[in-house]
Amino acid sequence: MTQDDDKRAAAEAAVAEVQPDMLVGLGTGSTVRFAIEALGRRVAEGLRITAVATSIDSAERAAALGIVVRDFAEVARVDLTIDGADEVDDRLWAIKGAGGAMLREKIVAAASTRMVVIADASKRVAAIGAAKLPVEVLPFAKGYVADRLAMLDAAVTVRDGVTDNGNLVLDARFAVFPDPVTLAAALDATPGVLGHGLFLDEVDATYVADDGVVTRLERVEVSG
């Protein structure tokens, strides 16, 4: 059983949630490609759905398989979004953005009634923070934001190229990862930061495959 086999198993389990007439959000990355393929097969078999995509790559892959892809700029609500993660823990906190689409991914997640993350077992961790944390930055603010990240004890590298939005990505690595809630608040309050890869409230469930066995974990809502 290969890593790709596990990615495919997790993707197919999540795609089973898709119901007729849904508007489905498609994330970005290698695991999501398997979800797009699985959804394309269901569409070819007669499933009627539409989709929005978080990247040009995902939109093109979906359209090539006969999935109707809508312009998200004209969309207010999404029924179900399926996306990957670089790390995800049992609190359903995730780090995303290795593919550079975290800003669009977070917007689509916010618009979604339900968001599920699909992953192979290597992405499941006890606590997030070992992966690099991508931060999407207005090019004008590159130096300022890099300095602010350094003040948070991050080692910062500028990723080559630009996002689909024409912005830069700064990858931040921490020797000791800060409290994720506090870090997210600091990033959100930094002028020039347009988005980041901390997903702390968005994920409703995960499908994680380990040697072909898929485990689903649902967010537990705490009342009171």
Catalytic residues: 105
Task: State the Cα–Cα distance between residues 7 and 209, nearest whole angstrom.
Answer: 7
Helix (H, G, I), strand (E, B) or coil at 68: strand
Q: Put the strands of the sheet holding 168-174 in their side by side order.
A: 154-158, 168-174, 133-137, 193-196
Helix (H, G, I), strand (E, B) or coil at 67: coil
* The residue to which tokens 């898709």 are assigned: 18
Q: Is the dihedral of CA 150, 155, 161, 166 positive or negative?
A: negative
